[in-house]
Amino acid sequence: MRDVSEMQVAKQATDAIDEADLEGMKKFGIIPEPSMSYLVGPYRYSKFADALAQAKRLAASA
């Protein structure tokens, strides 16, 4: 299981945007938007409800 510091490092790695990327963002009006994902075992979910449903299925089958 990841701890908070590992998650912060992972987030920082994806936040690296170089000048060319910034220029492309300005040119095409691309606006970055933070998003959250949820990990359940090896699977990643963008919706909490889906992650919760999977976690409950795993708990029921254990």
Chunk the chain into consecutive blocks of 10 residues (it has 62) and report each block's average pLDDT, rounded to whole numbers: 53 69 91 89 95 96 88
CB 8 within 8 A of CB 26: no
Work out the angle at residue 17's Cα, subtended by the Cα atoms of residues 42 and 10, and round it to the nearest 5 degrees: 25
Tell me, what's the pLDDT at 46?
Answer: 94
Q: Cα(46)–Cα(26) distance, rounded to whole angstroms? A: 27
Q: What integer pLDDT is reported at residue 3 of this predicted model? A: 54
- pTM (whole model) above 0.95: no
The pLDDT value recorded for residue 27 is 95
**38 in Cβ contact with 51 (< 8 Å):** yes
